[in-house]
Amino acid sequence: MRMRKKKHREERIENCKELLTGEFETFRSDFKNLFENKENEIHIEIGCGKGRFISELAEQNPEINYIAIEKNLDVLVLALEKVKAKGLKNVKFYAGDASFLNDIDENNKCGRIYINFCDPWKKTYQAKRRLTHERFLTVYKRILKSGGEVHFKTDNKALFEFSLNSFSDFGLRLKNISLDLHNSSFEGNVMTEYETLFSEAGNPIYRCEAVF
């Protein structure tokens, strides 16, 4: 279902403009320029949705700086307001899709990328659009430091199986693989809005970490 345009969306986004990354050229060579504490490691979430995950994660880890990417302005505004309400200084939002990562300078490194409940693109011919496809992994490799990780969660079994194979074929080491996250021994899971809905409906949550 398509989300309706949020009332006063542009005005609300403007009220949170200090949380936006601004022009790409200002940080393409160094993510750290976005933050007051430039010594913190950078982690990225691709597709932050309404911001529950990134706001809770940033609150729990003030020593990490986070960049949250979201192209849908009607959900981005909710994420911005969540982070602003908490007064967090270690989160910045990029209003757009993940394609901008292609143009990040190679010396601009981050430690971790989060991909939560992305579009599964179910048709076979759509495989290249999946965020765990080889063409995206090549981009992640450029911007992740050695030993950096992709943390991936989904409720879609077919996408998870595709992703495990994609990670493996790319030569990545896999760890903390779970076929039913909420009934596993994994500790420290931070929920997303979709994750709550899916798990309450009785759907298993699939999760893994891929090490570059």
Mind telling me the catalytic residues?
119
- For the record, the structure tokens of 169 come out as 């074929």
Task: Return the structure tokens found at 190.
Answer: 């931070």
- Distance in angstroms (rounded) separating the CA atoms of residues 59 and 56: 5
Q: Are 67 and 44 in contact (CB under 8 A)?
A: yes
Residue type, 110: C
**Quick check: 211 and 171 in contact, CB under 8 A?**
no
Could you tell me which residues come within 8 angstroms of residue 115 by beta carbon, excluding any fewer than 6 positions away? Answer: 45, 46, 47, 131, 132, 150, 151, 152, 153
Nearest Cα to 72, choosing from 104, 42, 95, 99?
95
Distance CA 88, CA 115 (A): 21
| Contact between residue 104 and residue 144 where contact means Cβ atoms under 8 Å apart | no
Identify which of 84, 105, 106 has the alpha carbon closest to the alpha carbon of residue 93: 84
